[in-house]
Amino acid sequence: MKESGQKYVMEKGIHRVEPWRIVGFSGVNLAVNLYMGLTMYMSYYLNGFVGMAVIFASSFSTVMRLWDGVTDPMVGFVVDKFGYRAGKTRICMTIGGVLLFVNSFFMFRVTHHLPEGGVARGIFFTVFALLFYIGYTFLNVSMHTGNVCLTNDPGQRPFLSVVGTILVRMSRSLVQIYVASLVVKYGKMSSIGVFEDMWLLTAVAASICIAIAFVSIAPKDIPAFTAITKEKQVVKFKDYIRVLKTNKPLQMLIVSAATDKLASSCRISAVSVVVFGIIIGNFQLNGGWSLYTTILGLVMMTLGVGAIGGKLGLKRAMQVGSWGVVIFNTIIMVLFVVADPKTLNLPGYVNGYGQTFTGFTFFTVALFLLSILGEGSQMICTSAIPPMIADINDYEASRSGKYMPGMVATVYTFIDKLISAAAPSLVGIAFAWIGFADKLPDVDTPSTTALFVFGLFFYYGTSVLGALCNTIAMKYYELTPQRMEEVRAKMEQLRHEG
């Protein structure tokens, strides 16, 4: 019985897992975000070493994200047909990890060694980028399929997301500090040394995370938790259309998450350079500031998703977080207008005027408090999404009799990526419009009113618009805690009948 995973099964159709396995499996979430973080700086590499103009370098990210979205349904379809014996999540994870490691190496460590001029570098980079994003899709799908089979306990699913978010946010802040140190070391963002060092850290750290996740998911990646009947289910492409047309919770989550992703995707490296390197006046503050605000923001997120999501449901957690983003990010934008952002300072840093730290200024204290509340609210929204996708998988299985975690996850990510793919192009077009058509703003670019307006809009304003869309979508999201009890009961009935 223990080999079949029976020791993890509780009453009322609930199955759990040891907390350490939840922490370990979060490694795949961390690996996904590490590789995606590498692509956030891709426009600088394309502009500086592949020879693309700014608007084309920014559009390249859009095209690749569209390609990433197009491959999602195909990968999801394949994943749901993987054999049960080897474990579909582990197969998916392995394929994704290998593709990401190999192709990112060719993209960021080999391209610039090709002859300059002509189209050789552009073609070479594009081919391996296409393969890179297929790997990204496999790894991302493995995260969602694993979330479904790891636990369906309403108390553990929010915890799974909280742990993942803590690891991702902390690593993101540490990476920002690391990148800022590389910019100082090599003199500018568009230095080849920045990308070579960044790739090495990303590839090694992500590979370790994937290995840990592989071990952690092993005992739950079996038919007892990845199938609803003993008979082999038949999954067809027409199921995609049916799921998208009839699964209203999925539709509402797509609206909510895609607009959030569009907003967060607008915070690409060029926008961070404008806000911290030009408006605030010291790009090094970006990493230190993110680390300070992230730590306390994570505490707020843990309380929000853990307390609100665990007791009142993920829908309520998403609503609370969304209104927090609207309120606090709006106040932050006003603060930048009425106070002097160049007075931002932290111990161990200099401010935008080159002055060493002598005490906390009004702008520093106000922005710090507002950023904690705003980032914490945003984390609540982001952290609610993975367990909501897992709930939607269970909901779909209960009404159709088919367990299709790959398909449900990729229907969501397909639409999500199509919408959010516009972000790099929007930023690129905006910068080109204000005079940066050939070269992106860098830390030595003089501050202008246009950069001030566009920097704040893409860094804070888009998040406000995305959060407003969340509040509307959640009005029509039906998977409350009470509704999920009915879903689990129905699934248990189907398993006994199957």
Per-residue model confidence as pLDDT tens for the chain (498 residues): 344 567 877 777 788 889 999 999 999 999 998 998 888 888 888 888 887 776 677 678 778 878 888 888 888 888 877 765 668 889 999 999 999 999 999 999 999 889 887 788 989 999 999 999 999 999 988 988 888 888 888 878 888 878 887 888 778 778 878 888 888 888 887 788 889 999 999 999 999 999 999 999 999 888 777 766 666 667 777 887 888 888 999 999 988 888 887 887 787 667 888 999 899 988 888 877 877 887 777 777 777 666 676 677 888 889 999 999 999 999 999 999 999 999 998 888 888 888 988 889 999 999 999 998 998 888 888 888 888 988 998 898 888 877 787 778 887 778 777 777 777 778 888 888 988 888 878 888 888 999 999 999 999 999 999 999 999 999 999 998 889 889 888 887 877 775
Q: Is the dihedral of CA 497, 80, 145, 66 positive or negative?
A: negative
List Cβ neighbours of 65 (8 Å cut-off, separation of 6 or more): 133, 417, 420, 421, 424
Residue 87 belongs to some domain of the structure: yes
With contact defined as beta carbons under 8 Å apart, do 412 and 389 qualify? yes
AA letter at 57? A
Residue 1 lies in a domain: no
Residue 9 dihedral angles phi and psi, to the nearest 5°: -90, 130
Does the pTM exceed 0.85? no
Q: How far, in Å, CA of 82 to CA of 360, rounded?
A: 57
User: Looking at the domain assignment, is residue 99 inside a domain?
Assistant: yes
Residue 306 is predicted with a pLDDT of: 63
Would residue 134 count as lying in a domain?
yes
- Whether residue 460 is contained in a domain is answered as yes
Match 């207008």 to its residue by tokens. 337
Instruction: Give the span between the Cα atoms of 172 and 23, in whole angstroms.
Output: 17
pLDDT at 310: 66
- Domain limits for position 32: 11-497
For residue 9, what are the β-bridge partners?
A: 15
Q: Residue 340: left if φ>0, alpha if ψ -120 to 50, beta else—which one?
A: beta
Q: Which of 340, 348, 334 is nearest to 292 (CA)?
A: 348
pLDDT of 190: 76
- Whether 204 is covered by a domain: the verdict is yes
How many C-beta atoms surround the C-beta of residue 115 within 10 A? Answer: 7
Determine the residue type at 253.
Answer: L
Total domain count, the chain: 1
DSSP string, 185-211: HHSSTT-HHHHHHHHHHHHHHHHHHHH
DSSP state of 357: P
CB 316 within 8 A of CB 479: no
Closest CA to 37 of 214, 206, 254: 206
Residue 385 token pair: 């999404």
What is the model's pLDDT at position 1? 36
Return the pLDDT at 84: 58
Residue 321 lies in a domain: yes
Give how far Cα 76 sits from Cα of 23, 54, 232, 240, 413, Å: 25, 33, 17, 10, 10
**Count of residues in the chain:** 498
DSSP category for residue 218: G
Is residue 4 in a domain? no
Residue 391 neighbours by CB under 8 Å, 6+ apart: 157, 249, 314, 479, 484, 487
Here the CATH number for the domain that contains residue 36 is: 1.20.1250.20
Q: Tokens representing 452?
A: 């001030």
What pLDDT shows up at residue 149?
Answer: 86
User: Which are the contacts of 245, defined by CB distance < 8 A and separation ≥ 6?
Assistant: none
The rounded Cα 336 to chain-centroid distance in angstroms is 27
